[in-house]
Amino acid sequence: MSDATAPAPRRIRMTVIGPILALVLLVIAGALMNPNFLGWDNVTNVLARSAFIGIIAVGMTFVITAGGLDLSVGSMAAFIAGLMILVMNSLVPSMGAGIPVILIGMAVALLAGLAAGLLNGILITRLGIEAFIVTLGSMGIYRSLVTWLADGGTLSLDFTLRSLYQPVYYGGVFGITWPIIVFAVVVVIGEVVMRSTAFGRHCAAIGSNEQVAKYSSVRVDRVRLMTYAALGLLVGIATIMYVPRLGSASSATGMLWELEAIAAVIIGGTVLKGGFGRVWGTVIGVLILTLIGNLLNLTDFVSPYLNGAIQGAIIVLAVVLQREGKAR
Amino acid sequence: MSVLALRHVSRSFGPIEVLHGVDIALRPGRVHALIGENGAGKSTTMKILAGYQPPSSGQVLLDGQPVSFASMGEAEAQGISMIHQEFNLAEQLTVEQNIFLGRELKRGPLLDKPAMRARTRELLDRLECRVSPDRVVSTLSNSDKQMVEIAKALLRDTRVLVMDEPTAVLTRAETAILLRQVRALRKAGTAVLFTSHKLDEVEQIADDLTIMRDGRVVWTGEAAAMDQHAMANAMVGREMSDLFPAKVSTPGEVALEVRNLTVPGFSRDIGFTLRRGEILGVAGLIGSGRTETFEGLCGLRPATGDVKIFGQPVRIDHPWQAQDLGLCYLTEDRKTRGLLLGKGLRENLTLQALSKFDRGLIDTTAEERALDQAIADFDIRGHRAAMVGNLSGGNQQKLLFAKTLLADPRIIVIDEPTRGIDIGTKQQMYVLIRRLAAEGRAIVVISSEMQEVIGLSDRILVMRHGRITGELGADATEDAIVKLAMGVATEREPA
């Protein structure tokens, strides 16, 4: 071929710049509509609100890239929050309301998240049941369990513990709160793992063609299982950051988080059928979703009740752009 | 008088012209063979003939009149059908639904199922194809899918039938049926364009012959004027030395010992030994369980049996276990099992041996060096930054070899090493396989091409119905293999 030595044409793809462009436009629009928008308080507020979904969405990026899906993360978070509060409250009489109880509560959250993720992963990989079905089932189970634990009401954290635990959400260093710091750390690690490790490469290979991965001696089931386990662990981390915010859990906790996380992943340019994923894109996706809600609250053009409608439209638009990028 | 012809047709993709002034004429009641190496321009020529692509310059003549088809649908309405190498079937529909797709028979507003069933049966009977009309296409073998494609074309009262390597996935028996059908179509006055890498078939079936090289027609005329040797020379543009390298094996220690290997549903009681430096051919009809047996051996399917690798009893349940033991299987199906078509060369090359590049993070510099090396060693041509799906079949196959060999296996099972690749690349592959053996690796070659098995192997196992029916030496004849593969030699013995 005569073009064998020509350099690769570096085409700017809509799938790459699309999400960035959308984010920039949102920021500009926000700054024009409300002078407080770019203020320190609002920016940290947006970032902190993004953190829960964001931490989960980073894990979801790996699951989706490897060709899977997890619908259970929202109710999993609610269940973990409920479990965590129950355990901590029950330890207060014997151990007193102190830091050790909170640390035990955090450990419970991490272990419960890991176990829940592993359970999803084992059902999917060992029994070969569709991820959609397994996680639809576990979504219902966890949601129901937290309602049962709370006896239909709300589980509240012991009052003394609550004030001890609150700094995990409200405190921070140099004015940056802990959720934002944890989110940033998770994102950096996630990006490196996706981009430059064998695990990330294997996720993309499995998602783009599971048969090829299998025939290439990739340990397909183990990699898959690890994506669900990692996601479960991240749900645990997100819950640890979330519980001190309200100090309670109910059947409404974490409602629709799974959809927001999946939406953020897709808006960020990860392919829903798997095979290609990028963590930084997911971060942009999360920010876009949070910013829309934030903007609607700050301005009075559009009712905040239409938040869901606008988010929905953006998700559909993102997928349309993805397809155009592919056709080219 | 030709029914369909190209006159001075050129075709460019972007700045690159791939066809240069091609003339070809298909006549009713004649089989026209179009041959050439991969990349010679056969596919583009066929697509222009069948109305899939317009020419950049020059004319398409239908019954002597210039035409331009806006779509393949228009060409089809004029009685021109094309059967692709990659099947154009709706996998989840049944055989019958596929055959009648887009032209369902109706009685009033409802489908006339009995009529379609009867017609399907009749078409399949004509093709001697014993598939039930309500089988779902995804469950069919490649050869049966081919027959369904042909049945579809038969239904459409085709005047011109363009067939892109129809026999590539067929066994000898199926090929014979197909060629019989082609002859029947010829007798009925259809003009057939036929491409194949198997020159013996071309010699058998073709009335007219066109040979292409580098986007030009280099020879055209009556097929009877050319023998296989002359065709091969015209295709590559140089004298073809002997296709196969000399068999200079010096078998060493036993590398692989297999006893009582059973792959449920596919094969039973398979036993053989393989030494270092040796090439063991495995012949048999498609469906005789060759592929499944060796996939079972390599942990790609459930299997039972006693396997020893270099004397050590081993248990292999997963392909990565096989690879850890130095045993690799190189698939026959490079497009759906071998390579990630949507990814680049580098990611594909290192996928199987990624741990070699894993220093916590992946060392991409070392990966690039490995790619440089592979491109040089295996003569992979094509854009370095290309997606693998855009490489030609031959280059994909070379990349698949490079990828597997990067894992440095001591024992390699190569399934259909040269399926769908041109004769020049084939020769390179044969030299490569022999060199791997000379390096002291133990090699199994599974192949449906008799010449390949005979030309390459030091010993040959023949399989039939999931069992080994015989072992032959390097001097095996095609006749002896066929007898064992068809069960002719053993059928007289009492069961």
Mean pLDDT of the B396-416 span: 92
Q: Using 50, 70 and 90 to split pLDDT, how confident is the model at A323?
A: low
d(CA A290, CA A271): 21
A148-157, B129-138, B360-369: which range is least confident on average?
B129-138
Tell whether B56 and B202 lie within a shared domain. Answer: yes
A22, part of any domain: no
Tell whether B324 and B204 lie within a shared domain. Answer: no
Name chain B contacts of A212, Cβ cutoff 8 Å: 336-340, 351
B247, part of any domain: no
**Structure token pair of residue A111:** 């272990």
Task: For residue range B135-190, list pLDDT tens digits in order.
Answer: 888 888 777 887 888 888 888 778 899 988 888 777 777 788 888 888 888 888 88
Q: Using 50, 70 and 90 to split pLDDT, how confident is the model at B100?
A: confident
User: What is the pLDDT, as a whole number, of residue B247?
Assistant: 78
User: What is the pLDDT, as a whole number, of residue A9?
Assistant: 42
Q: Is B31 helix (H, G, I), strand (E, B) or coil?
A: strand
Name chain A contacts of B340, Cβ cutoff 8 Å: 205, 208-209, 212, 275
**Structure token pair of residue B248:** 């200079």
Q: Are A261 and A283 in contact (CB under 8 A)?
A: no
B275, part of any domain: yes
How many domains does one find in chain B?
Answer: 3
Q: Are B30 and B207 in contact (CB under 8 A)?
A: yes
Mean pLDDT of the A211-220 span: 92
Position A327 pLDDT exceeds 70: no
Rounded to 5°, the CA angle B248-B251-B257 comes to: 140
Task: Tell me the residue range of the domain where B431 lies.
Answer: 254-486
Tell whether B334 and B203 lie within a shared domain. Answer: no
pLDDT averaged over every residue in chain A = 87
User: What is the pLDDT, as a whole number, of residue B15?
Assistant: 62
Q: Of B99, B118, B147, which residue sits at a domain end?
A: B147
Q: Do B385 and A217 touch (CB under 8 A)?
A: no
Answer whether B268 touches A (CB < 8 Å): no
Q: Using 50, 70 and 90 to split pLDDT, how confident is the model at B240?
A: low
Q: Do A1 and B381 touch (CB under 8 A)?
A: yes
Q: Are B81 and B161 in contact (CB under 8 A)?
A: yes
Residue B134: alpha-carbon gap to chain centroid: 27
d(CA B267, CA B329): 17
B44, part of any domain: yes
Position B416 pLDDT exceeds 80: yes
A9-18, A186-195, B177-186, B366-375: which range is least confident on average?
A9-18
Q: Which residue has the tokens 């934030």?
A: A294
How many domains does one find in chain A?
Answer: 1
Find the residue in B nearest to A9 (Cα): B385
User: What is the pLDDT, as a whole number, of residue B239?
Assistant: 59
Among A4, A201, A218, select the one facing B347 at the smallest CB separation: A201
A242, part of any domain: yes
Among B323, B337, B354, select the one facing A212 at the smallest CB separation: B337
**Structure token pair of residue B269:** 């009681």
User: What is the pLDDT, as a whole number, of residue A64?
Assistant: 95
Q: Is B414 helix (H, G, I), strand (E, B) or coil?
A: strand
A102-116, B150-164, B326-340: which range is least confident on average?
B150-164
B245, part of any domain: no
B350, part of any domain: yes
According to DSSP, the residues that pair with B19 across neighbouring strands are B11
User: What is the pLDDT, as a whole number, of residue B39?
Assistant: 66
Q: Do A205 and B347 touch (CB under 8 A)?
A: yes
Q: How many CB atoms lie within 10 A of CB A144?
A: 13
Position B342 pLDDT exceeds 60: yes
Tell whether B332 and B454 lie within a shared domain. Answer: yes
- What percentage of chain B exceeds 70 in pLDDT? 96
Tell whether B231 and B266 lie within a shared domain. Answer: no
Q: Which residue has the tokens 């920039």?
A: A24
B57-62 sheet: strands from edge to edge: B16-26, B4-13, B57-62, B65-67
According to DSSP, the residues that pair with B257 across neighbouring strands are B273, B308
Q: Do B320 and A212 touch (CB under 8 A)?
A: no
Answer whether B318 touches A (CB < 8 Å): yes
Position B443 pLDDT exceeds 90: yes
A10-14, A227-231, B125-129, B169-173: which range is least confident on average?
A10-14
B85, part of any domain: no
Task: Tell me the residue range of the domain where A179 lies.
Answer: 47-255
User: What is the pLDDT, as a whole number, of residue B371?
Assistant: 92
Radius of gyration of chain B (CA): 24
User: What is the pLDDT, as a whole number, of residue A313?
Assistant: 84
A39, part of any domain: no
A263, part of any domain: no
Q: Which residue has the tokens 């399926």?
A: B419
User: What is the pLDDT, as a whole number, of residue A199?
Assistant: 93
Q: Are B263 and B274 in contact (CB under 8 A)?
A: no
Mean pLDDT of the A109-131 span: 93
According to DSSP, the residues that pair with B279 across neighbouring strands are B443
Tell whether B392 and B442 lie within a shared domain. Answer: yes
Amino acid at site A10: R
- What percentage of chain B exceeds 90 in pLDDT? 30
Q: Of B203, B236, B269, which residue sits at a domain end?
A: B236
d(CA B9, CA A325): 32
Among B340, B382, B383, select the one facing A212 at the smallest CB separation: B340
Tell whether B137 and B271 lie within a shared domain. Answer: no
**Structure token pair of residue A175:** 């004015």
Q: Of B190, B205, B236, which residue sits at a domain end?
A: B236
Tell whether B75 and B103 lie within a shared domain. Answer: no
Tell whether B209 and B285 lie within a shared domain. Answer: no
Cα-based distances in Å from A311 to A238, A260, A279, A306: 22, 9, 20, 9
Tell whether B8 and B132 lie within a shared domain. Answer: no
Tell whether B64 and B171 lie within a shared domain. Answer: yes
Q: Using 50, 70 and 90 to split pLDDT, how confident is the model at A14?
A: low
Position B255 pLDDT exceeds 60: yes
**Residue B437 belongs to a domain with what CATH number?**
3.40.50.300
Mean pLDDT of the B400-415 span: 93
A90, part of any domain: yes
A92, part of any domain: yes
**Structure token pair of residue A35:** 């002078």
d(CA B210, CA B23): 9
Q: Is B335 helix (H, G, I), strand (E, B) or coil?
A: helix
Tell whether B435 and B355 lie within a shared domain. Answer: yes
Mean pLDDT of the B108-122 span: 85
Q: Using 50, 70 and 90 to split pLDDT, how confident is the model at A13?
A: low
- Greater confidence (B435 vs A328) lies with B435
User: What is the pLDDT, as a whole number, of residue A2?
Assistant: 36
Q: Three-state SS across chain A?
A: CCCCCCCCCCCCCHHHHHHHHHHHHHHHHHHHHCCCCCCHHHHHHHHHHHHHHHHHHHHHHHHHHCCCCCCCHHHHHHHHHHHHHHHHHHHHHHHCCCHHHHHHHHHHHHHHHHHHHHHHHHHHHCCCCCHHHHHHHHHHHHHHHHHHHCCCCEEECCHHHHHHHCHHHHCEECCEEHHHHHHHHHHHHHHHHHHHCHHHHHHHHHHHCHHHHHHCCCCHHHHHHHHHHHHHHHHHHHHHHHHHHHCEEECCCCCCHHHHHHHHHHHCCCCCCCCCCCHHHHHHHHHHHHHHHHHHHHCCCCCHHHHHHHHHHHHHHHHHHHHHHHHC
Q: At a CB cut-off of 8 Å and minimum separation 6, what does A52 contact?
A: A77, A179, A238, A241, A242, A257
Q: Using 50, 70 and 90 to split pLDDT, how confident is the model at A143?
A: very high
Mean pLDDT of the B463-467 span: 87
Q: Using 50, 70 and 90 to split pLDDT, how confident is the model at A111?
A: very high
Position A5 pLDDT exceeds 80: no
- Greater confidence (A323 vs B149) lies with B149
d(CA B351, CA A218): 8
User: What is the pLDDT, as a whole number, of residue A10?
Assistant: 46
User: What is the pLDDT, as a whole number, of residue A15?
Assistant: 65
d(CA B417, CA B414): 6
A262, part of any domain: no
**Structure token pair of residue B329:** 């299987």
d(CA B60, CA B6): 5
**Structure token pair of residue B366:** 């070392």
User: What is the pLDDT, as a whole number, of residue B293?
Assistant: 93
Task: Name residues 93-122 of chain A within 8 A of B (Cβ).
Answer: none
Half-sphere exposure in the Cβ direction for B151 (13 Å, CA): 30
Among A196, A214, A218, select the one facing B300 at the smallest CB separation: A214
Q: Using 50, 70 and 90 to split pLDDT, how confident is the model at A4?
A: very low
B86, part of any domain: no
d(CA B425, CA B423): 5
Amino acid at site B346: R
Answer whether B355 touches A (CB < 8 Å): yes
Task: Name residues 212-231 of chain A within 8 A of B (Cβ).
Answer: 212-219
B102, part of any domain: yes
pLDDT averaged over every residue in chain B = 85
d(CA B254, CA B250): 12
